[in-house]
Structure 1
Amino acid sequence: MHMSLPLPPAVASYVGPLLSVETPPQGMAFKVFILTSQRGRFILKVAQTPAMIEALSREAYVLSALQDQAPLVAQPLMEEAGDGEHAFLFSYLEGEPLYKRLRRAESQERLDLVTQFAQTLRLIHNWSPDLSRPANWLSEKLDWLRGKIEARPVNTPIERTRTRFDGAIGNHLLDDLQARRPLLENDMVFGHYDYCLPNVLILHERVAGIIDWSGGGYIDRRFDLATALFSLSLLEKWEHSSYRLHFLKAYGYTEDPDSLSFFEDLHALTCAFWQ
C-alpha cells in the first residue's frame, strides 16, 4: 500500500475521512500507519508477503483472545485482504516507547521504569487466554530453527543481531543448543515472544500499553526474560550494569541468571533466522 493510494474499502468506511496519516518508525516486517479521523485514532498494519500476512493474521487472532486485558492491549477492529496485501486495523494506544523514556530518565527514574518493565512481564505471564498450547515448546522451537537454517546456504553466519554471536555459524550454535536441550524442562506461560523496550508504551510514567503481538502465545517464560534482557543491553551498554539483576529481581526470577544463557543464545538465533 502506498500513501497515495486509497485505504482498503472496508477500512476507509470504518475510519471515515482522514485528518492525518503518520508513518511511525518501524522494522521491515509491516507497513504501519497511524490514521486520525473525526472518529478517533487507529493503527493500520499492512503485510505483503505470505509470511508477513500469516504473522499479521496471527496478531489479530491473539489480540482477539486478549480483550479481557484492555487497556494494555489494543482492540482489533477489522481485517481486509486484497491485491496481494492483508490489512489489519486496530485501536491506537497512547504512549511513548519505553526506550525513549529511559534515555531521558535520571538514575532513580530508570530503576522505577525497569521495575515496571519487569513487573508488567510478570503480569503478562499470569494471563491465561484461550489459545492452543504446544506439547513441547523447546523442541518445537529448535525444530523450527533447524528448518530456517537449513533453508539457507550451508554455514550461513549469524549477522546483524548485535550480540556476541555475530559472525558465528548458525548451524553450529543450533547444534550446541540441541546438545543442551535434554537438560531443560519447559516452563510454559502465556508470553509475548518479543518483549522488548520498543513494544512497551509509557504514559504519565506508567506502563500504558503493550504492542506487536504477532508472536504471542504459550512459550517458555525464559525466552521472554532473555528477550527483555537483550533489549535492555542495547540501551547504553547496560549489559554490565546492575539493571540486569534489578530487572530479574523485580520480575521475581529467583534462579541463577546464568540459567538464562540457553535462552539468550536461542534469542540470538531467532533474530538471525526468523525470516
Structure 2
Amino acid sequence: MNRFVSSILCAVFGGAAVWLLLRATAEPVLPATFERPAEVVSEHVDPIVETLVDLDSDPVPSDYDDEVERLDLEDPNGAPRPGPVLTVVDTGANGQPVPAAEVFYAVRESAHEANGDRPLQHVAELPVRYGVKATTDGEGRVRLPPIRGPVLVVARKDGQFGFRVIGPHHAEEERLGLVTDETLRIAILDDESGEGVRDVPVGIFERDGRRMRRRLRVLSDEAGKVVIPHFQLHREKLRAQGSEFVAAVLAPFA
C-alpha cells in the first residue's frame, strides 16, 4: 500500500497558535530567548546533528597567546579581572531592566563535556542543565564571575528568554535581551490511516541564495510528533545574514 506522509506544523508564538505549511519561510526575529521544559525535549534527536548554533560571536584568534590571555584577564596587581555586570532587559518594553529574572551560565567547553552524547537540540540547553543559577536584582543586574573562555548565558522570566555567548574580552557591562519564546510542534501523519509515523526526519535549514546549511535534524517519535522548543534560536543568525529560513520534512516516502 502506498503511503503518503503529511505534516502539520504549528508554531506557538506567545500562546497563539499559527499553522504553517511545509517549507514555509519565516521572517527573522529579535535576539533569541530560551526555556527548557524537560517534557518537550525530544529523545529522537539524530546523533549526526550538525553544529546547532554558530558560536563565533566572540572568536579566539588562531594565534592567540596564553601569556597575552593571562595579562588581559588580570589587573596590574595580578588579581583576576572581574566578570561583567550582566543587565537583563525586556526588548518588548523599550529595553526596561527585568528584575528577578533567572540567569544560568556555564563554560561552553565544560558544558559540552558534561553533556556527552545526550540529545541536544540547541546549546542554549546546556547552561540550564549544567550551569550556575543566579537571579537578577531590582535593576535587572547580576555579576558574572571572571571569564577566561566562552561562557553560555541564558536568562528567562515569564515565558521570555535570552541567550548569548560572552567571551573573555567582554565589556564591563553586558546586556541580554528577552523576547517571547516560540515552540514548533510538528505531526507526521499517514494520509490514509491518520496515524502518526515514527522516525521521519524533520530538518531545520538556513538558506542564503543558492547555499543551504542544515541546522538541526530530528526524528519523529512513536506518535509521529516532533517538538522543537525555542524555535527562534535556530534562526537567530539568519537575521544578521539576511537568509531565508526553511522548515521541511527531509525524506520522501513511496
Normalising by the residue count of structure 1, what TM-score does the alignment of the two structures yield? 0.20
Higher helix share: 1
Normalising by the residue count of structure 2, what TM-score does the alignment of the two structures yield? 0.22
The structure with higher relative contact order (CA 8 Å, sep 6+) is 2
